[in-house]
Amino acid sequence: MNSGLGGRVCRNQPWLESTKWCANRRITLEEIEDGLNEDCSHFSVHNIVSETLGYRKVSARWVDKWLKEAAGEWYNTVITKLIHFAVVGGPESDFQVVPPRDQHHRANWENFRAYIDQNINRIQPLPSNYFRFVGLLMKAGRKFIPRGHRKEYIPGWDKDTEELYRRYKYSDNEETAEMLINQLNSSRKEKWMQTVSDLDLTHSSRKGWDLLRKLGNAEATNSVITNITPNQIARHLQTVSKVKIPKRKKKAMKARIKEEFSKSNYSSHLSSQVNITEIETAIKLTKKYKAAGNDEIPAEFLIELGKRAKSWLARFFTIIMETGNIPKEWRQSKILAVLKPGKEPTCSANFRPIALLCTTHKLLERIILARLTPILDPEIPVEQAGFRGNRSCCDRVASLTSFIENGFQLGMKSAVVLLDLSSAYDTVWIDGLIYKLAKVLKCKQTLNLLSSLLSPRKFTVYLNSKSSKEYTIYNGLPQGSVLSPLLYNWYTHDIPQTTSKKFIYADDTAILAQAKTFEELEIQLNKDLETLHNYFENWSLRLNPAKSVHCCFHLNNHRAERKLKLFINNSQITHSEHPKYLGIHLDRTLTFKTHLTKLKGKLSSRNNILHKLAGSSWGSDANTLRTSALALIFSTAEYCAPVWEGSCHTKLIDTQLNSTLRIITGVCQPTRIDWLPVLAHISPPELRRKEATKKMYQKLLDSPDLEINPILQSPPKHRLKSRNPIWSRGNQLLSQNFKISEAWTNSWISSDIPNKNLITSPSVKIPGFSLPRREWVLLNRFRTGQGRCAELMKLWGYTKDPNCACNVPQSMSHILDDCPLYKFNGGISNLHSVTPEALNWLKALPLRL
Ligand SMILES: [Zn+2]
For residues 596 and 653, the answer to whether their CB atoms sit within 8 Å is yes
Cβ neighbours for 271, distance < 8 A, ≥ 6 positions apart: 321, 322, 443, 445, 446, 449
Q: What is the SS3 assignment for 617?
A: coil
- Cα–ligand 1 centroid distance for 165 (angstroms): 46
pLDDT at 37: 40
> How far apart are the C-alpha atoms of 822 and 690, rounded to whole Å?
45
- Cα–ligand 1 centroid distance for 802 (angstroms): 11
- Cα–ligand 1 centroid distance for 840 (angstroms): 19
Burial class (CB in 10 A: 0-12, 13-18, 19+), 390: exposed
- Cα–ligand 1 centroid distance for 315 (angstroms): 78
> How far apart are the C-alpha atoms of 503 and 386, rounded to whole Å?
10
CA nearest to 614, candidates 605, 626, 604: 626
- Cα–ligand 1 centroid distance for 817 (angstroms): 9
- What's the whole-number mean pLDDT along residues 720-730? 91
- Cα–ligand 1 centroid distance for 806 (angstroms): 4
Whether the pLDDT of residue 35 is over 90: the answer is no
The CA-atom distances, in angstroms, between 132 and each of 25, 119, 305, 364, 798 are 52, 11, 16, 18, 73
* Highest mean pLDDT: which range of 76-80, 675-679, 748-752: 675-679
Residues facing 799 on adjacent strands: none
Q: What is the SS3 assignment for 578?
A: coil
Q: Give the percent of the chain with pLDDT over 70.
A: 79
- Cα–ligand 1 centroid distance for 758 (angstroms): 23
Q: What is the SS3 assignment for 468?
A: coil
> How far apart are the C-alpha atoms of 282 and 371, rounded to whole Å?
12
Measure the N-to-C terminal CA separation of the chain; round to a whole number of Å.
52
- Cα–ligand 1 centroid distance for 847 (angstroms): 11
Angle between helices 430-441 and 247-263 (to 10 degrees): 20
DSSP 73-96: SHHHHHHHHHHHHHHH--TT---E
Cβ neighbours for 592, distance < 8 A, ≥ 6 positions apart: 584, 585, 586, 643, 644, 647, 649
- Cα–ligand 1 centroid distance for 214 (angstroms): 45
- Cα–ligand 1 centroid distance for 848 (angstroms): 14
Whether the pLDDT of residue 52 is over 50: the answer is no
Is 812 or 190 the better-scoring residue by pLDDT?
Answer: 812
pLDDT at 238: 87
- Cα–ligand 1 centroid distance for 812 (angstroms): 10
CB atoms closer than 10 angstroms to residue 99: 8
* DSSP secondary structure code for residue 809 in this structure: B
Model confidence over 815-839: pLDDT tens digits? 999 999 999 999 999 999 999 999 9
- Cα–ligand 1 centroid distance for 824 (angstroms): 12
Radius of gyration of the chain (CA): 32
Model confidence over 84-96: pLDDT tens digits? 444 343 322 333 3
- Cα–ligand 1 centroid distance for 770 (angstroms): 29
- Cα–ligand 1 centroid distance for 691 (angstroms): 46
> How far apart are the C-alpha atoms of 269 and 705, rounded to whole Å?
29
pLDDT at 17: 31
For residues 363 and 286, the answer to whether their CB atoms sit within 8 Å is yes
pTM metric for this prediction: 0.79
For residues 488 and 562, the answer to whether their CB atoms sit within 8 Å is no
- Cα–ligand 1 centroid distance for 820 (angstroms): 6
- Cα–ligand 1 centroid distance for 487 (angstroms): 72
The CA-atom distances, in angstroms, between 12 and each of 49, 50, 82 are 12, 13, 10
CA nearest to 110, candidates 305, 312, 297: 305
- Cα–ligand 1 centroid distance for 818 (angstroms): 7
- Cα–ligand 1 centroid distance for 823 (angstroms): 8
- Cα–ligand 1 centroid distance for 849 (angstroms): 13
Confidence of residue 730 (pLDDT cuts 50, 70, 90): very high
Burial class (CB in 10 A: 0-12, 13-18, 19+), 101: exposed
> How far apart are the C-alpha atoms of 782 and 788, rounded to whole Å?
10
- Cα–ligand 1 centroid distance for 235 (angstroms): 75
- Cα–ligand 1 centroid distance for 846 (angstroms): 12
Q: What is the SS3 assignment for 133?
A: helix
Confidence of residue 198 (pLDDT cuts 50, 70, 90): low
> How far apart are the C-alpha atoms of 320 and 1, rounded to whole Å?
65
- Cα–ligand 1 centroid distance for 821 (angstroms): 6
- Cα–ligand 1 centroid distance for 795 (angstroms): 17
Confidence of residue 12 (pLDDT cuts 50, 70, 90): very low
- Cα–ligand 1 centroid distance for 790 (angstroms): 10
- Cα–ligand 1 centroid distance for 777 (angstroms): 20
pLDDT at 50: 38
- Cα–ligand 1 centroid distance for 773 (angstroms): 25
pLDDT at 389: 83
Strands 457-463 and 332-339: parallel
- Cα–ligand 1 centroid distance for 815 (angstroms): 6
Cβ neighbours for 220, distance < 8 A, ≥ 6 positions apart: 65, 96, 97, 98, 214
For residues 782 and 828, the answer to whether their CB atoms sit within 8 Å is yes
Whether the pLDDT of residue 777 is over 90: the answer is yes
DSSP 756-800: GGG-S-TTSPPTTTTS-HHHHHHHHHHHHT-SS-HHHHHHTTS-S
pLDDT at 103: 55
Cβ neighbours for 84, distance < 8 A, ≥ 6 positions apart: 95, 152, 154
> How far apart are the C-alpha atoms of 244 and 726, rounded to whole Å?
45
Q: What is the SS3 assignment for 566?
A: coil
- Cα–ligand 1 centroid distance for 767 (angstroms): 27
pLDDT at 215: 58
- Cα–ligand 1 centroid distance for 664 (angstroms): 29
> How far apart are the C-alpha atoms of 215 and 302, rounded to whole Å?
26
The CA-atom distances, in angstroms, between 293 and each of 325, 457, 460, 713, 776 are 19, 14, 11, 50, 45
Whether the pLDDT of residue 151 is over 50: the answer is no
Angle between helices 685-701 and 393-410 (to 10 degrees): 80
Angle at 418 between CA 415 and CA 420, to 5 degrees: 155
Model confidence over 570-613: pLDDT tens digits? 999 999 999 999 999 999 999 999 999 999 999 998 898 888 88
Whether the pLDDT of residue 290 is over 80: the answer is no
Q: What is the SS3 assignment for 349?
A: helix
- What's the whole-number mean pLDDT along residues 467-484? 88
Q: What is the SS3 assignment for 680?
A: helix
> How far apart are the C-alpha atoms of 803 and 135, rounded to whole Å?
76
CA nearest to 194, candidates 281, 287, 286: 287
Is 373 or 86 the better-scoring residue by pLDDT?
Answer: 373
- Cα–ligand 1 centroid distance for 92 (angstroms): 36
The CA-atom distances, in angstroms, between 725 and each of 124, 398, 722, 812 are 63, 10, 10, 46
CB atoms closer than 10 angstroms to residue 340: 12
Whether the pLDDT of residue 298 is over 80: the answer is yes
- Cα–ligand 1 centroid distance for 778 (angstroms): 17
> How far apart are the C-alpha atoms of 806 and 825, rounded to whole Å?
17
Residues around ligand 1, an ion, CB closer than 5 A: 804, 806, 819
Q: What is the SS3 assignment for 461?
A: strand
- Cα–ligand 1 centroid distance for 822 (angstroms): 7
For residues 416 and 400, the answer to whether their CB atoms sit within 8 Å is yes
- Cα–ligand 1 centroid distance for 813 (angstroms): 10
- Cα–ligand 1 centroid distance for 772 (angstroms): 25
pLDDT at 41: 31
- Cα–ligand 1 centroid distance for 766 (angstroms): 28
Instruction: Give me the sign of the Cα torsion angle 676, 681, 685, 686.
Output: positive
> How far apart are the C-alpha atoms of 299 and 791, rounded to whole Å?
59
> How far apart are the C-alpha atoms of 660 and 662, rounded to whole Å?
5
CB atoms closer than 10 angstroms to residue 623: 14
Angle between helices 74-88 and 60-69 (to 10 degrees): 150
Cβ neighbours for 502, distance < 8 A, ≥ 6 positions apart: 383, 495, 509, 510, 511, 512
- Cα–ligand 1 centroid distance for 675 (angstroms): 26
CA nearest to 81, candidates 10, 151, 4: 151
Model confidence over 504-555: pLDDT tens digits? 999 899 999 999 999 999 999 999 999 999 999 999 998 999 999 999 999 9
Instruction: Give me the sign of the Cα torsion angle 173, 174, 179, 181.
Output: positive
DSSP 621-657: SHHHHHHHHIIIIIHHHTTTHHHHTT-TTTHHHHHHH
- Cα–ligand 1 centroid distance for 845 (angstroms): 12
478-514 burial, b for 16+ CB within 10 Å, e for fewer? bbbbbbbbbbbbbbbeebeebebbbbbbbbbbbbbbb
- Cα–ligand 1 centroid distance for 786 (angstroms): 16
Task: Please give the helix or strand (H or E) that residue 354 lies within, else none.
Answer: strand 351-356
Provide the mean pLDDT of the chain.
82
- Cα–ligand 1 centroid distance for 793 (angstroms): 15
- Cα–ligand 1 centroid distance for 803 (angstroms): 8
- Cα–ligand 1 centroid distance for 662 (angstroms): 27
- Cα–ligand 1 centroid distance for 814 (angstroms): 6
- Cα–ligand 1 centroid distance for 804 (angstroms): 4
CA 405 to chain centre: 32
Whether the pLDDT of residue 160 is over 90: the answer is no
- Cα–ligand 1 centroid distance for 811 (angstroms): 8
- Cα–ligand 1 centroid distance for 742 (angstroms): 40
- Cα–ligand 1 centroid distance for 825 (angstroms): 14
pLDDT at 516: 95
> How far apart are the C-alpha atoms of 315 and 282, rounded to whole Å?
15
- What's the whole-number mean pLDDT along residues 647-675? 95
Model confidence over 228-280: pLDDT tens digits? 888 998 998 888 888 888 999 999 999 999 999 999 888 888 889 999 999 99
Model confidence over 304-340: pLDDT tens digits? 899 999 999 999 999 999 999 999 888 888 888 877 7
Is 322 or 196 the better-scoring residue by pLDDT?
Answer: 322
